[in-house]
Structure 1
Amino acid sequence: MLNSDHAADVQLFGAHPIFRARDRDTLSARLMEGYRATIRRTDDAEVPLLAIANRLQVGGVHLHYCRYDAPVQIAFPAMAGYRQLVCLSGHGEIVSSRRRMAIDGDHAGTLPPETPFEASYSQGYQHMVLQFDEESLRRKAEALAGQALPRDLRLSIMQPLPRAGRSRTRHIARALGQIFASEGAHLDTWAIEMSHALTSAFLIETLDGDLLQTSAKESGRTSVSLLEDYIQANWRRPIGAEDIAEACGVSVRSVFARFKRHRGVSPLTYLREVRLGHANRMLLEAEAGASVIDIALACGFASLGHFAQRYRERFGELPSATLARGDRRPRN
Structure 2
Amino acid sequence: MTGLSRAALALRDPEEAERALADYFPSLQLGRAEPGTFRSWISTTTASQFSLVDYGFASAGSATAGSDDLVVIASAGQGYVIRDGRNVIDTTQPFLSPDEGLVARWDTLDARVLMLSGTSVERVAQAASGRDDFRLVRRGTAPVSQERARYWAAVVRGVRDTVADAPDAFDSPLVAEAAFHHLATAFLHVFPTSWIDLPEPGRVPGTASVISRSAIEFMRAHAGQPITMEQVAASASVSTRGLHRAFVHELGEPPAAYLRRLRLQGARIDLLAADHAVTVVTVARRWGFAHASRFAQAYRRAFGEYPSETLRR
Q: TM-score per shorter chain, which class?
A: 0.7 to 0.9
1:125 aligns with 110
| Residue number among 61, 66, 71 corresponding to 2:55 in the alignment | 66
CA contact (8 A) 2:268 2:310 kept: yes
Whether the 8 Å contact between 2:128 and 2:241 is mirrored in structure 1 is yes
Partner amino acid, structure 1, of 2:184? T
Offset from partner CA, 1:135-157 (integer Å, 9 cap, x none): 22222111111224454x34432
Aligned to 1:10: none
What is the Cα deviation at residue 97 of structure 1? 3.7
**Kindly tell me: are residues 137 and 225 of structure 1, through their superposed partners in 2, closer, same or farther at Cα, counting changes over 3 Å?**
same
Which SS does the other structure have where 2:32 is aligned?
A: strand
Q: How does 1:200-211 map to 2 (within 5 A)?
A: 200-206=185-191, 207-208=193-194, 209-211=196-198
TM-score between the two structures when normalised by the length of structure 1: 0.78
- Tell me if 1:32 matches 2:14: no
In structure 1, the partner of 2:153 is: 170
Query: What secondary structure, in the 3-state scheme, does the structure 1 residue paired with 2:302 have?
Result: helix
Structure 2: which amino acid aligns with 1:232?
A: R
Q: Deviations over 1:36-90 (max 9, x none)?
A: 53432369x99x945333231333x3332334455543333x4332222234x55
Code of the aligned partner of 1:58: S
* Alignment RMSD: 3.0
Counterpart CA distance in 2 for 1:17 and 1:145 is 37
Partner of 1:259: 247
Between 1:29-38 and 1:171-180, the stretch displaced more is 29-38
- State the distance in 1 between where 2:278 and 2:305 align: 18
Asked if 1:144 is matched to 2:128, the reply is yes
Provide the residue aligned with 2:97 in structure 1: 111
Secondary structure, counterpart of 2:293 in structure 1: helix
Instruction: Tell me: CA distance 1:177–1:203, structure 2 relative to 1, closer, same or farther (3 Å).
Output: same
Structure 1 residue 229 displacement after superposition: 1.0
Number of equivalences = 300
- The verdict on how the C-alpha distance between 1:14 and 1:94 changes in structure 2, with shifts beyond 3 A counting, is farther
Instruction: After superposing the two structures, state which structure 1 stretch, 124-133 or 265-274, moved more.
Output: 124-133
Say if 1:282 and 1:295, in contact at 8 Å, map to a contact too.
yes
The TM-score normalised by the length of structure 2 is 0.82
- Percent of residue pairs bearing the same amino acid type: 22
CA deviation string 1:179-221 (max 9, x = no partner): 2226544332122112012111111223443314343436521
CA distance in 2, matches of 1:282, 1:205: 38
Structure 1 unaligned regions, length at least 5 = 1-12, 326-332
The equivalent residue for 1:186 is: 170
* 1:64-103 correspondence runs (5 A): 64-69=53-58, 72-76=61-65, 78-87=66-75, 90=77, 93-103=81-91
Q: Mean Cα displacement is larger for which, 169-178 or 256-265?
A: 169-178
Cα distance in 2 between the residues matched to 1:307 and 1:160: 32
